[in-house]
Structure 1
Amino acid sequence: MVKGRSYILVLKLDRESIVEVGALGKIVFKPGYYLYVGSAKVGVSRICRHFRREKKLKWHIDYLSVVAEPLHAYLFHREECDVAAMLAERFECIPRFGCSDCLCRSHLFYSAKLPTFHAPILRPEDCR
């Protein structure tokens, strides 16, 4: 299995949803694709956790991943904040999401169309 230092989890949301996201409160998510940047320094177990519907809601992304469909994750050999900065140049961000332990504006981004990246992919079936 390919290892990386960070990942972009791609989720699809079919309809507008209002989601209570821990301390961030209620967030309105419009239909489309969401790109979440996280750390994969200890392997892909956290990414595989994102693919599961049944889980304790611990991180911001958990609240979204139970209402949106996690499609796949791209793996990168770059630090997560560097990947988030790259996405911030191209996509709309959801402020303060997933970045309570860094100085980034966000680690969650929105796209109306499914984006693609040149990187190895981890799919839900790879976690079984």
Structure 2
Amino acid sequence: MTSAPHPACPSGPGAYVVAIAIAAPLAIRLGAAASPLLRPGRYLYCGSAYGPGGLPARLGRHFRKDKAIRWHVDQLTTAGEVLGAWAIAGGDECELVARLGFLPVPIEGFGATDCAHCRSHLLRWPSRVAARTVRAALAGDDAAPVWLRGDSTPRSRA
């Protein structure tokens, strides 16, 4: 998903969960506050794409390394490895955070500075939690989430 939209990505607006692996401790800048340290491991970032270009444009940006740091999550996607993302056409990022509420919050307020409901839009994804468990939690009454691999190779199960 580095230059062209992923062929399986829903074309319109929606929400998504980006899976990111961090190999080394990473200091995160959150404005004027002290920089918390994110420990190595897997993380899930919940976001939405209701602007121009919808899900393909937003996820295409998250999958790229060469970009200006505009949002909190850009610090992770440029320093870590984007494993892939679950895309949910018409979804709501706060609802996705709620569905994944069984996962720990590593940094309060991360990606949620404009959100009055969520403690954070970043969740730690422990190795003991299988991808199928995350996918099942994301699948609500509406359409099932579509998994998009970080290397742009479609994969049926995640």
- Larger radius of gyration, structure 1 or 2? 2
* Aligned equivalent of 1:82: 95
CA offset digits 1:85-122 (Å, max 9, x no partner): 112x2111121000112111110000221641152112
Q: What amino acid is the match of 1:81? A: C
Shift of 1:24: 5.1
- The answer (yes or no) to whether the contact 2:20–2:81 under 8 Å persists in 1 is yes
Extract unaligned runs of 5+ from structure 2.
1-7, 137-144, 154-158
- The answer (yes or no) to whether the contact 2:55–2:87 under 8 Å persists in 1 is no
* Aligned equivalent of 1:92: 104
The TM-score, its normalising length taken from structure 2, stands at: 0.71
Shift of 1:39: 0.5
The TM-score, its normalising length taken from structure 1, stands at: 0.85
Q: What amino acid is the match of 1:45? A: A
Matches of 2:87 and 2:19 in 1, distance apart?
11
- The answer (yes or no) to whether the contact 1:21–1:63 under 8 Å persists in 2 is no
CA offset digits 1:30-84 (Å, max 9, x no partner): 1111100010332221111111111011001011211111110001242111001
Matches of 1:121 and 1:24 in 2, distance apart?
34
Question: Please, which moves more after superposition, 16-25 or 30-39?
Answer: 16-25
Whichever structure has more strand as a proportion of its residues is 1
Extract unaligned runs of 5+ from structure 1.
none
- The answer (yes or no) to whether the contact 1:98–1:108 under 8 Å persists in 2 is yes
Q: What amino acid is the match of 1:123? A: R
Specify the SS of the correspondent of 2:60: helix
